[in-house]
Amino acid sequence: MENNVPIVWVTGGPSSGKTTLSQNIVQKYGYKHVDINAMVEREIETESEQGNQFAATVNDAHVVPLGDIILMVESDIMGNRSGIRGFVIDGYPQNQADATLLEQRIGSPDLIIALDVGQETLDTRRSAQGARPSIAANVYQHNMQAILEQYGNKTMQIDGDRDAYAVFEEVIPNMELLDKRGESHISIAP
């Protein structure tokens, strides 16, 4: 897919603050929020055959594979290209196969924001939300290791145990660089 606007991937374990961060980026920079989990939820609500398959996957505490929903993602992006300053892909990639698929079908990321959250924080947030069972923090970390190695020069690893404001403040300098359109170099602090 031809792309001439920045693409940001926001990854992290369940309840790590991905959607909140994505929404903050959208609000400040005018990017399009590509919320794949919301697409999955909408499909589940339709109770279509695919929606029922997604529901079974989610109820078993698994993530719907990106390959199962990539056509919806492409349709959402293609339908919103006009006047968009960039895209924030919320919650994906979940693994190396997802990263490859996103890069092939959507485009290479300009910035990856990986929210690291401890299991205790995840459990507290999930409990407070009354959320469905989910993958453990260590499973997320294992799945993401190859992505973090492959895209290390584009990846910000951020302590997601902090409040949403502190997390967003840490992201702003690199978002400002992306927003300048002429700048392609981002500064990833260790």
Which residue ranges form the domains of the chain, and what is each CATH number?
7-179 (3.40.50.300)
- In this prediction, residue 189 carries a pLDDT of 47
How confident is residue 117, by pLDDT bands cut at 50, 70 and 90? confident
| Pairwise CA distance, residues 31 & 175, whole Å | 11
**2 has a pLDDT exceeding 50:** no
Average confidence (pLDDT) over 3-21: 86
Q: Work out the widest C-alpha separation in the chain, in whole angstroms.
A: 45
When comparing pLDDT for 145 and 154, which is higher? 154
When comparing pLDDT for 183 and 128, which is higher? 128
When comparing pLDDT for 79 and 108, which is higher? 108
pTM for this entry: 0.82
**136 has a pLDDT exceeding 60:** no
How would DSSP label each residue in 1-60? ----S-EEEEEESTTSSHHHHHHHHHHHH--EEEEHHHHHHHHHHHT-HHHHHHHHHHHT
As to burial, measured by CB atoms within 10 angstroms (0-12 exposed, 13-18 middle, 19+ buried), residue 55 is middle
Q: What are 42-100's pLDDT values in tens digits?
A: 999 999 999 999 999 888 877 888 999 999 999 888 876 667 788 999 988 988 899 99
| Pairwise CA distance, residues 38 & 150, whole Å | 27
Number of other CB atoms surrounding residue 168 within 10 Å: 19
- In this prediction, residue 105 carries a pLDDT of 92
**Please, what is the average pLDDT of the chain?**
82
How confident is residue 5, by pLDDT bands cut at 50, 70 and 90? confident
| Pairwise CA distance, residues 123 & 152, whole Å | 28
Kindly provide the b/e burial profile for residues 82-99, where b requires at least 16 CB atoms within 10 angstroms of the residue's own CB: eeeebbbbbbbbbbeebb
